[in-house]
Structure 1
């Protein structure tokens, strides 16, 4: 594959990343081609040595997502790690999908339940004293506060579990890459010194 085709496919795979990051990555690979040309190597040799640009782009997107997650643990950075991981693990998607989807479904269901309990606690806190709550107004206030506190505690626990899930996806993505990297580069056990 020629240099222009390699760079075009790399850019296409990096869509969604910031333009500055894309330009920095592309500049690095352009430098590989320039250095190789100075050494007398052909563009085809360099592109063969570098590997599949689409695959490299998925790996680079995963690494960028992981760096984003490690520097700023936000829902958007978690989502970028998960999407990059799924993009990298397209080979394993048939195996992972039956595991990942139920876990995400249960997690989402628990988050919805937690929000619902919090809202119900607020309703009991506000409306309970005026609606003839069993045990009186004080019991209604305390019950409402208890429900809201339980929901906040459950939300905190779900936040911790969510962080663990994202870290597990990050770990698996890096492990996945380490295991298949020799195959991508064309190495076998006999070739590695």
Structure 2
């Protein structure tokens, strides 16, 4: 593989990353080719030593997604990290994805229930005093306030559970990938065994 082919495939694989991040990565890999040329190695040897550019791009995107998640724990960062890690192919998607989708569906349903509970508490608190609520207006106000407080508490606990789920999934995928990496990259063994000792 030539330098141009390697860099073109790597650039295609990095689509979706911020432009400056992708440019920095491409500059680093161009420097690898420059260093290899200075050392008397051919472009094909350097490309072979660097590995598959498509897989390399997936790894770099996964690391960028995980880094973004550690910096800003938002739903979009969580989704980006999960899909980037799944893109590595390090997790057995056939087994894990249905389980993950079930858990995500359950969490989403719980969040909808929390919103409904908060809305009903607000409704009881506002409309209860005017609707002849049993116990009077003050009881309606406090019952509504209690329902809203319960919804906020459950919502906070669900948020913590979601963060723990995303962190656990990323941890598992990275661990699983590190264990599989030697088996997935036989060219690394071949290139080191071919070097004279």
TM-score by length of 2: 0.90
**Counterparts of residues 124-143 of structure 1 (less than 5 Å):** 124-143=124-143
| Deviation digits for residues 149-171 of structure 1 (CA, Å, limit 9, x no counterpart) | 00000110011001101101210
1:132 CA displacement: 1.2
**Counterparts of residues 110-149 of structure 1 (less than 5 Å):** 110-149=110-149
1:88 CA displacement: 1.4
Q: 1:184 to 1:40 in 2, by over 3 A?
A: farther
**Counterparts of residues 56-67 of structure 1 (less than 5 Å):** 56-67=56-67
Distance in 2 (CA, whole Å) between partners of 1:4 and 1:177 is 28
1:137 CA displacement: 1.0
Distance in 2 (CA, whole Å) between partners of 1:42 and 1:173 is 35
| Deviation digits for residues 38-72 of structure 1 (CA, Å, limit 9, x no counterpart) | 11111111111111111111111111111111122
Unaligned runs of 5+ in 2: none
Distance in 1 (CA, whole Å) between partners of 2:14 and 2:119 is 41
Residues 2 and 47 in structure 1, CA contact (< 8 A), matched pair in contact too: yes
Distance in 1 (CA, whole Å) between partners of 2:20 and 2:164 is 30
1:184 CA displacement: 3.3
Residues 125 and 141 in structure 2, CA contact (< 8 A), matched pair in contact too: yes
Unaligned runs of 5+ in 1: none
Distance in 2 (CA, whole Å) between partners of 1:181 and 1:58 is 13
Residues 91 and 173 in structure 2, CA contact (< 8 A), matched pair in contact too: no
Aligned counterpart, 2:49: 49
TM-score by length of 1: 0.92
Q: How many residues were matched structurally?
A: 190
Aligned counterpart, 1:156: 156
1:148 CA displacement: 0.4
Aligned counterpart, 1:26: 26
Q: Please tell me the root mean square deviation across aligned C-alpha atoms, in Å.
A: 1.7
Residues 51 and 184 in structure 1, CA contact (< 8 A), matched pair in contact too: no
Q: 1:91 to 1:166 in 2, by over 3 A?
A: closer
